[in-house]
């Protein structure tokens, strides 16, 4: 499953030429650009012993430890230290966190993302991983990881409340702007897919709700004119316009994503 995730992840993005879906079969290391292995800050296990380590790691995933939050800290840390792929280890390691917690029934859906905290505390993140390797300091790593989960969970909860508030606000605003019986369908569509091609929404509304294909463009145009939707790409020939619900994206990303005019 992890190899399949890796293959999907590296499809048409950075690292696509580095054996997508395949564990590394040569030695790699981490350090400043162009450094030799002797100058590296971290050298993961030899590829000759990689599968042995991965099998032990897999057995630990299947085991129920005393606390699943402690266990996921070990699972993530050990995966990053094994560094089993040529590229994409950090991204796969973050994906594994919600998948593990979902498997252990700590999450009702595999939707807890720790990447934001780890990215904004990147130096400490690497220092803590390095301390495991060099000093065996698992306690320091676990304390850092649990703090990350705590603070990210608070941030995620605040965003969910903001999204719910935005939904209630938009429910009234879209109805006021469009005066349409289809305003709730439009509202739900924007929250389920905040970036979309106009043709996709037109087709969805026709197939799912029987809304005439000429009705939907007028509704989208009203929301665009009101500033609720922003146009990312203009329609050109047979190519449809691409619109986005920027206010929702700004809540989820925690920053402005598109320039408003």
The pLDDT of 90-105, averaged and rounded, is 96
Q: Is residue 130 part of a domain?
A: no
Residues 166 and 225 in one domain: yes
What is the per-residue pLDDT for 260?
A: 54
What is the per-residue pLDDT for 254?
A: 76
Residues 161 and 108 in one domain: no
What is the per-residue pLDDT for 218?
A: 95
The pLDDT of 222-237, averaged and rounded, is 95
Can you give the residue range of the structural domain that contains 231? Answer: 157-253
Q: Is residue 73 part of a domain?
A: yes
Confidence of residue 31 (pLDDT cuts 50, 70, 90): confident
Token pair recorded at residue 40:
């590296």
The pLDDT of 239-247, averaged and rounded, is 95
The CATH number given to whatever domain includes residue 34 is 1.10.3290.10
Q: Is residue 63 part of a domain?
A: yes
- Dihedral sign of CA atoms 129, 135, 139, 143 in order: negative
Poorest-pLDDT segment among 9-13, 86-90, 92-96: 9-13
Q: Is residue 165 part of a domain?
A: yes
CA distances from 38 to 46, 128, 191 (A): 14, 21, 51
Please check the confidence at residue 42 and state whether its pLDDT lies above 90: no
Residues 7 and 108 in one domain: yes
Residues 14 and 71 in one domain: yes
- Dihedral sign of CA atoms 137, 140, 141, 146 in order: positive
At 119-160, the pLDDT tens digits run: 999 999 999 999 999 999 999 999 999 999 999 999 999 999
- Three-state helix/strand/coil letters over 177-227: HHCCCCHHHHHHHHHHCCEEEHHHHHHHHHHHHCCCCCHHHHHHHHHHHCC
Q: Is residue 167 part of a domain?
A: yes
Q: Is residue 133 part of a domain?
A: no
Confidence of residue 1 (pLDDT cuts 50, 70, 90): very high
How many percent of the chain have pLDDT more than 90? 84
Q: Is residue 198 part of a domain?
A: yes
At 192-223, the pLDDT tens digits run: 999 999 999 999 999 999 999 999 999 999 99
The pLDDT of 8-33, averaged and rounded, is 84
Report the number of distinct structural domains present in the chain. Answer: 2
What is the per-residue pLDDT for 258?
A: 62
Residues 170 and 102 in one domain: no
Q: What is the pTM of this model?
A: 0.82
What is the per-residue pLDDT for 229?
A: 97
Between 38 and 245, residue with greater pLDDT: 245
Displacement of CA 97 from its chain's centroid (Å)? 11
Q: Is residue 144 part of a domain?
A: no
Residues 96 and 33 in one domain: yes
The CATH number given to whatever domain includes residue 204 is 1.10.10.10
d(CA 98, CA 92): 11
């Amino acid at each position: 499953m992890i190899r399949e995730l890796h293959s999907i992840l590296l499809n048409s993005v950075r690292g696509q030429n580095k054996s997508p879906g395949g564990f590394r079969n040569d030695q790699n290391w981490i350090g400043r650009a162009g450094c030799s292995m002797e100058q590296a800050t971290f050298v993961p296990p030899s590829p000759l012993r990689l599968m042995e380590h991965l099998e032990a790691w897999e057995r630990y995933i299947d085991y129920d430890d005393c606390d699943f939050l402690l266990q996921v800290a070990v699972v993530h840390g050990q995966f990053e230290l094994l560094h089993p792929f040529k590229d994409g280890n950090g991204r796969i390691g973050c994906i594994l966190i919600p998948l593990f917690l979902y498997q252990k029934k700590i999450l009702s859906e595999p939707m807890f993302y720790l990447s934001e905290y780890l990215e904004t505390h990147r130096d400490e993140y690497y220092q803590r991983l390095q301390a495991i390797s060099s000093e065996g300091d698992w306690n320091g790593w676990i304390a850092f990881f649990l703090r990350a989960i705590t603070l990210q969970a608070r941030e995620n909860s605040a965003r969910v409340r903001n999204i719910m508030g935005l939904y209630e606000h938009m429910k009234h605003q879209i109805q006021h702007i469009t005066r349409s019986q289809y305003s709730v369908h439009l509202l739900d569509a924007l929250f389920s897919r905040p970036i979309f091609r106009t043709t996709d929404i037109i087709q969805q509304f026709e197939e799912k709700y029987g809304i005439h294909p000429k009705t939907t463009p007028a509704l989208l145009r009203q929301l665009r004119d009101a500033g609720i939707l922003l146009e990312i790409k203009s329609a050109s020939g047979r190519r449809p316009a691409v619109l986005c619900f920027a206010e929702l994206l700004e809540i989820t990303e925690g920053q402005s994503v598109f320039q408003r005019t």
